[in-house]
Structures are given as structure tokens and as C-alpha cells.
Amino acid sequence: MLTIYSEQQKLHNPAREFLGGDLVPYLESPKRLDYVLEAIQRNDLGRIEWPDSFSTEPIARVHRPDYIQFLETAWQRWHQTYPEATQASPYCFPHRGLRHVVPETIEGALGYYAMDLTAPVVEGTWKAIRASVDCALTAQKRIMDGEPVAFALCRPPGHHASKDVMAGYCFFNNAAIATQAFLDQGAEKVAILDVDYHHGHGTQSIFYSRSDVLYASLHADPRRDYPHYLGHEDETGEGAGLGFNMNLPLPLQVTGWVEYRRALELALGRIDEFRPDYLVVSLGLDTYERDPISFFNITTPDFQELGRCLAALKKPTLFVFEGGYALEALGHNTVAVLEGFSAF
Ligand code: OKP
Ligand code: ZN
């Protein structure tokens, strides 16, 4: 299987995040890429290529121009305000009852464009998030040119980013941008299957009123885990998109492969019925039994089975890397899915 990877993605390297009320080492670290790359090489999964460089045009098909502009300049503006700081984070947000107007200061703008404190901007963020999108778009292009399957080893991840809000380690929505690129290049329908432990609320919101993209997600029940405020079963789409959003929230602690597989069959059945031209998989490995922030019980052999189930759809498939934080297992879990898919 073809993998697209860029070293530039490591330039996004925040030192810390808030967890449990204290600052802890940033979980979504550049090291995640090393573990996955190493496993791909060790298992001879196939060639690894650098991405091409794309303009912001395909990004602007998904994200608002002012949001793109904000991300490009955020670090420099923060640095002018706080010359000693190593990362930029918001501290207040336009909550209920407040005006949704972009303030002039970077502190105000950060709160306007962020949902939470988990997506700090650092000096290298802009280059890294552009490289991450480049990986997704390069893999997408290869599939458009006839490659049956490709893996975009993207970081930072993307599925929590909406058209103008960053959240949950995500800035640009790599999977959504690649999906839109398929459509812009002639595809009529694209299905996105999100198997990350967390609901991809950014992706859902981007395509919520559209019938040309089916979004299906298996994830931790938002009543019990991040992103907390979206991802419920009754969110089925709106307007023309009604019936083209499928959420399968699952309970924490008791979700193992048997329960997961049952929900997966429902999602796969719906995707099959939708008859997409392409399948985009938001591939998070944080459903793993020993993931440090998650509470499902998926094992390494289960991930291989997951890959086989996805291959049964028999669609040209773009895998876009999302979450997964159990570093020592992240490489072989990723390879397990991709090998399961290829073995079919
Ligand atoms: C990003 B991705 C909950 C802490 C949650 C943010 C998680 C972002 C996940 N106690 N922190 O979907 O893997
Ligand atoms: Zn996740």
C-alpha cells in the first residue's frame, strides 16, 4: 500500500496541554509519526512517498478564508503580544449570549476560532498543518489517478476541525478537504467512515446539509466523552443532507470487538446502499484497549479484522490518519488495519 508522509508535519510540536486541570506533556506528539513510519517499513507495507505542495485553494473549498488567514498569522501575532511564550492558547470563548464578532486582538480571535484548549498554535503550526493537508491531497490524487488504496499519514489530525473552528488537536480537516477534492474532480458521491474513538464533529458539521457526502461514525458516546456536545444518534443530517449522517455512539468500558463489529455492520450497510465512488476512512487507532485517553477494548487482531471489513466494500479507499495515543502499539495497530485491508 502506498503511504504519503511529510517530515514537515513534525514542526507542530506544542510542549503541553491541559488534562485533568493541569498541564501535561502534549499527547498528539510528532513521535506518533515515527512509530507508524517505523512499523510500515518493518512490515514492508509498500512505498512511502513525500507529498506534492498544494495551494490553499482546495483548503478554501472547506474552510472559511478568514479562518485560513487567522491560522497563517496567529503565531506571529501571539509572539508580538507575548514574546516569551512558546504556545498560543485561547482563554475565553464567545459562549451563549455573547456576540460572535472577531475581536481585534489575537487573544480574542483565538477564543473566537477555537472550541477548546487542545489545539495550541506554535511557531511551526502553519507549515505542519499545510503539510498534513498536502499528504491527504497527494494520496487523494493518486487514488484519482487509479491507485486502489492509499494511506495519508497525516498529523496534526483533522476530524474535529470545522469550517472555521479548531478543536481536539485539529486545525485543517484533512479528510474533509480530500473528500471535497474527489467531488471537485468529478466524483458524484463520497462516503466518509470515521473509526476514530472520538466523534468527528468537524467533519459532520462540514457536510451536514449535503447529500453528496455520507458521513458515518462509530465513537464514544458524547454524553461520556469528547467532543461532549455533538455526535448523538439523532443527528441524521438537515435539509438536503437529511439521512446522510449516521452516528453510532457506543458505551465506554463495555465496547469490545463484538459490540463494535455490530455497529460497524450497520455503517457498512448504509455505505454500501449509498453507492459512493470513493471511500475516505478517518483512521483513528484510539479505540485500542490500552489507549491512554480512551475507553474501548479493541485489540491488535481486531484492527486487522477491521481492515478486512473495510476492504469488503470494494471501493477505492483513502485512509487518513487521525488519533491514537498508545505510542508503543500505534505502529502495529495502524499496520494491522492496512494489512487486513490489503489481504482481502
Ligand atoms: C483527538 B482525536 C478527555 C480529554 C480529551 C481531547 C481529545 C482530542 C482527540 N478527558 N482531550 O479525535 O483523537
Ligand atoms: Zn480520537
ipTM for the assembly: 0.98
**Is pLDDT above 60 for 245?**
yes
**How many Å lie between the centroid of ligand 2 and the Cα of residue 247?**
15
Q: Which residue, among 76, 53, 72, has the nearest Cα to 64 in the 3D structure?
A: 72
Q: Which residues of 290-312 are buried (b: 16+ CB within 10 A; e: fewer)?
A: ebeebbbbbbeebbbbbbebbbe
Residues designated as active site? 160
Residue where the block lists cell 454500501: 272
Q: Is 198 in the pocket of ligand 1 (CB under 6 A)?
A: yes
| Most informative mutation of 19, 26, 198 for ligand 1 (most atoms within 8 A of CB) | 198
283/153 Cα distance (integer angstroms): 10
Pairing of strands 190-194, 2-4: unpaired
At 163, list the grid cell: 469550517
> Cis omega (within 30 of 0) on the bond before 51?
no
**How many Å lie between the centroid of ligand 1 and the Cα of residue 230?**
14
273 within domain boundaries? yes
pLDDT digits (tens, 9 = 90+) for 189-227: 999 999 999 999 999 999 999 999 999 999 999 999 999
116 within domain boundaries? no
Residue 38, domain extent: 2-49+124-343
Tell me the percentage of the chain whose pLDDT exceeds 70. Answer: 100
**Is pLDDT above 90 for 6?**
yes
CB 177 within 8 A of CB 58: yes
Across the range 280-292, mean pLDDT stands at: 98
62 within domain boundaries? no
261 within domain boundaries? yes
Across the range 279-299, mean pLDDT stands at: 98
Look at phi and psi of residue 54 and say left if phi exceeds 0, alpha if psi is from -120 to 50, else beta: beta
Q: What is the mean pLDDT of the chain?
A: 98
Residue where the block lists cell 448504509: 270
pLDDT digits (tens, 9 = 90+) for 140-165: 999 999 999 999 999 999 999 999 99
299 within domain boundaries? yes
At 278, list the grid cell: 470513493
**Is pLDDT above 60 for 344?**
no
137 within domain boundaries? yes
* pTM tops 0.95, yes or no: yes
End-to-end CA, the chain: 13
- Specify the pLDDT at position 343: 85
Across the range 284-289, mean pLDDT stands at: 98
166/18 Cα distance (integer angstroms): 16
Across the range 110-115, mean pLDDT stands at: 98
**Three-class SS of residue 335?**
helix
**How many Å lie between the centroid of ligand 2 and the Cα of residue 265?**
21
Q: What is the DSSP letter of 288?
A: B
Query: By alpha-carbon position, which residue is closest to atom 5 of ligand 1?
Result: 226
Q: Is 284 in the pocket of ligand 1 (CB under 6 A)?
A: yes
- Specify the pLDDT at position 3: 98
pLDDT digits (tens, 9 = 90+) for 29-54: 999 999 999 999 999 999 999 999 99
CATH number of the domain at 273, please: 3.40.800.20
28 within domain boundaries? yes
How many domains does the chain divide into?
A: 1
With bands split at pLDDT 50, 70 and 90, how would you rate the model's confidence at 270? very high
| Most informative mutation of 22, 28, 115, 118 for ligand 1 (most atoms within 8 A of CB) | 118
Q: Which are the contacts of 255, defined by CB distance < 8 A and separation ≥ 6?
A: 287, 295, 296, 297
**How many Å lie between the centroid of ligand 2 and the Cα of residue 199?**
7
253 within domain boundaries? yes
Q: Is 158 in the pocket of ligand 1 (CB under 6 A)?
A: no
